[in-house]
Amino acid sequence: MDMQPIAAREGNHNLKDYEKARQSFDWEDVKKEFSWYETGKVNAAYETIDRHAENPAKKDQTALIYSSPDREETLTFHELKTMSNKFANVLKKHHVQKGDRVFLFMPRSPEFYASFFGILKVGAIAGPLFEAFMEQAVRDRLDDSGASMLITTPELLERVPQEELPELKKIVLVGFNEESDERYIDYFHEMEQASEEFEIEWVDLEDGMLLHYTSGSTGKPKGVYHVHNAMIQHYATGNWVLDLKEDDIYWCTADPGWVTGTSYGIFAPWLNGVTNVIRGGRFTADSWYETIAKNNVTVWYTAPTALRKLVSAGEQTAKKYDLSSLRHVLSVGEPLNPEVITWGVKAFDLRIHDTWWMTETGAMLIVNLPDMDIRPGSMGKPIPGVEAAIIDNEGNELPPNQMGNLAIKQGWPSMMRAIWQNPGKYESYFINGWYVSGDSAYKDEDGYFWFQGRLDDVINTSGERVGPFEVESKLIEHPAVSEAGVIGKPDPERGEIIKAFITLNEGYEASDELVEDIRKFVKTGLSAHAAPREIEVKDTIPKTRSGKIMRRLLKSWELGLPTGDTSTLEE
């Protein structure tokens, strides 16, 4: 779809002259804005929370406005500092040390954020897990990371297969706890007794801070390892791209189980000292508009899948609410349809700014800045300090308008530093000094990047990344399923839905009941978002001679496309 560019609006934007900023840019200048640049004392929790709590002018500012269907609460920077100090003391009492992996498996809540910063304050590595994960997903991640401690709720505890996790020594329960085993720690009880004073564990910029598990096209989910140094880019992009000012009321809709919910739900907003709205509970168009109207949200970071649902709810739903507080709206996670941008101009009288990045990149890389013309359908241009290009499979740069691998020149601050215990996997991301994203794209003559699709079999459903292997593995655990091949099928609202092709074991007949049972099996065993919406029973699944499922062929069949090269197909 060819559309007219949408010009930037007048405004007091933090980053004004993009071209000039790029030319004279030096990450060293951004570093100077952190207290550690002078003191040498590094810890992202300090920069994010305590620094404001120690500033008399800011300590009583509301840092967090929390609301869920059954709870509302606010915390100041001072209160968040105190709570996280207390939790750091609890961790210390239970012998958590620098470098230990401490996982969080619970819904968004004030306790989540206090625990998260407590973990960083003792120098441990935080591993947030999405609350909808079921047993298999939880086990794979805790097992791979060797987590020694988990913070969860009594309700979610039943999804934690403790007997299979020998390295998991302690479990902190947030909520009523009837367990008496010494493995369990009662959050509220221990917090009551803990001191409010804590001496932060100062770390190195290259020390571990976060593990986020994400999916590739093969194998189990992998642990993407981020270090404290990432805060430099969280801060800078919060300033340039989110355009945050200290009196902003900011809302990022992502769950901290995904990287958007940490980089832009925690670090970027609070490094920039704004009031951060956190909303739990399920999505409805009305509840989302209400969140904006009630809290006077000024900057809003969300995802195409949510925006498309708002479009479906119609302009009349938007018109019921006073959304005039909104100044700046942004999107991430999947292609932002030009139609949605057009609708945004009508519904909010604002442009929606697309941003592109990945779990592995730790922060935004290609963006639409508030001061830049938007070309609807384009992800924008690389931020200052980042070089992006389209390369071929040998790592050579391609000229404008040619499609290829979207790649980033190594060396930006928030880049992952490892795949947890898998150096080979980490190495496989790089060629000739370029980080290869796995996305295909092209760059136009003016330097705007245009997303074309994934080059591998990774599925993007409602903005959530799902590895087909993980779903296939779960499917074949069902007694009726012999083989499984899983693909992403285009869907107007969700981007893609998960479609599974299966063959049945002898003695099983295809039926609606069986298919539903198999779907439920994945939903309750792995997670709801990974459960196939469509399951088709086949006589055979196409495989290569070496036994690999040919997902590409399944996809071509599904979409009625030419099947291409099938020379490796098994007889």
Nearer to ligand WT7, 43 or 461 (CB): 461
379, 419, 514, 537: which one contacts ligand WT7 (CB under 6 A)? Answer: 379
Q: How many residues does the chain have?
A: 571
Q: How far is CA 352 from CA 270, 307, 370, in A?
A: 22, 10, 9
Binding residues among 418-447 for ligand WT7 as defined by CB under 6 A: 437-439
237 binds ligand WT7 (CB under 6 A): no
DSSP helix/strand/coil, 258: coil
Nearer to ligand WT7, 49 or 365 (CB): 365
Which among 40-48, 332-340, 483-491, 550-558 is the span making contact with ligand WT7, rule CB under 6 A?
332-340
Which among 128-136, 179-187, 199-207, 330-338 is the span making contact with ligand WT7, rule CB under 6 A?
330-338
Which among 95-103, 352-360, 420-428, 497-505 is the span making contact with ligand WT7, rule CB under 6 A?
352-360
Structure tokens that stand for 245 in this block: 């000012």
454 binds ligand WT7 (CB under 6 A): yes
100, 334, 371, 470: which one contacts ligand WT7 (CB under 6 A)? Answer: 334
Binding residues among 54-73 for ligand WT7 as defined by CB under 6 A: none
DSSP assignment of 30-82: HHTTSTHHHH--B-HHIIIIIHHHTSTTTTTSEEEEEEETTEEEEEEHHHHHH
Please answer whether residues 305 and 462 qualify as being in contact, where contact means their C-beta atoms are separated by less than 8 angstroms. yes
Nearer to ligand WT7, 273 or 335 (CB): 335
Question: Between 464 and 503, how does the x/- string for binding to ligand WT7 read (CB under 6 A)?
Answer: -x--------------------------------------
264 binds ligand WT7 (CB under 6 A): no
CA–CA separation, 551 vs 486, rounded Å?
Answer: 7
372 binds ligand WT7 (CB under 6 A): no
Least separation in angstroms between CB 206 and ligand WT7: 22
404 binds ligand WT7 (CB under 6 A): no
Least separation in angstroms between CB 233 and ligand WT7: 13
Binding residues among 169-228 for ligand WT7 as defined by CB under 6 A: 214
308 binds ligand WT7 (CB under 6 A): no
- Among 93, 254, 108, CA closest to 174: 108
DSSP helix/strand/coil, 211: strand
Structure tokens that stand for 196 in this block: 């409010």
Structure tokens that stand for 320 in this block: 């019921």
- Phi, psi (deg, nearest 5) at residue 170: -135, 150
DSSP assignment of 518-546: HHHHHHHHTBGGGS-SEEEE-S---BBTT
18, 113, 356, 521: which one contacts ligand WT7 (CB under 6 A)? Answer: 356
457 binds ligand WT7 (CB under 6 A): no
Which among 75-83, 132-140, 185-193, 331-339 is the span making contact with ligand WT7, rule CB under 6 A?
331-339
359, 462, 473, 503: which one contacts ligand WT7 (CB under 6 A)? Answer: 359
260 binds ligand WT7 (CB under 6 A): yes
Least separation in angstroms between CB 123 and ligand WT7: 25
List the 366-367 sheet strands across, edge first: 71-76, 62-68, 275-279, 249-252, 299-302, 328-331, 352-356, 366-367, 381-382
Cβ-based neighbours of 440, under 8 Å, separated by 6 or more: 403, 404, 405, 406, 451, 452, 453, 454, 455
Least separation in angstroms between CB 11 and ligand WT7: 22
Identity of residue 127: G
Which among 69-77, 138-146, 305-313, 354-362 is the span making contact with ligand WT7, rule CB under 6 A?
354-362
332, 407, 480, 518: which one contacts ligand WT7 (CB under 6 A)? Answer: 332
Nearer to ligand WT7, 148 or 262 (CB): 262
142, 330, 358, 486: which one contacts ligand WT7 (CB under 6 A)? Answer: 358
User: Would the CA dihedral through 215, 167, 473, 130 be positive or negative?
Assistant: negative
239 binds ligand WT7 (CB under 6 A): no
Tell how strand 170-173 and strand 184-186 pair up: parallel
Nearer to ligand WT7, 48 or 437 (CB): 437
357 binds ligand WT7 (CB under 6 A): yes
DSSP helix/strand/coil, 424: helix
CA–CA separation, 127 vs 104, rounded Å?
Answer: 6
Please answer whether residues 514 and 480 qualify as being in contact, where contact means their C-beta atoms are separated by less than 8 angstroms. yes
Nearer to ligand WT7, 15 or 330 (CB): 330
Q: How many residues bind ligand WT7 (CB under 6 A)?
A: 21
Cα angle 348, 349, 353; round to 5: 80
414 binds ligand WT7 (CB under 6 A): no
User: How many Cβ atoms from other residues are within 10 Å of residue 176's Cβ?
Assistant: 10
Least separation in angstroms between CB 254 and ligand WT7: 8
Which among 128-136, 265-273, 289-297, 355-363 is the span making contact with ligand WT7, rule CB under 6 A?
355-363
Nearer to ligand WT7, 81 or 353 (CB): 353
| Alpha helices per DSSP H over 314-450 | 315-319, 338-348, 423-427
Residues found near ligand WT7 in the complex (CB under 6 A): 214, 259-260, 332-335, 354-359, 379, 437-439, 451, 454, 460, 465
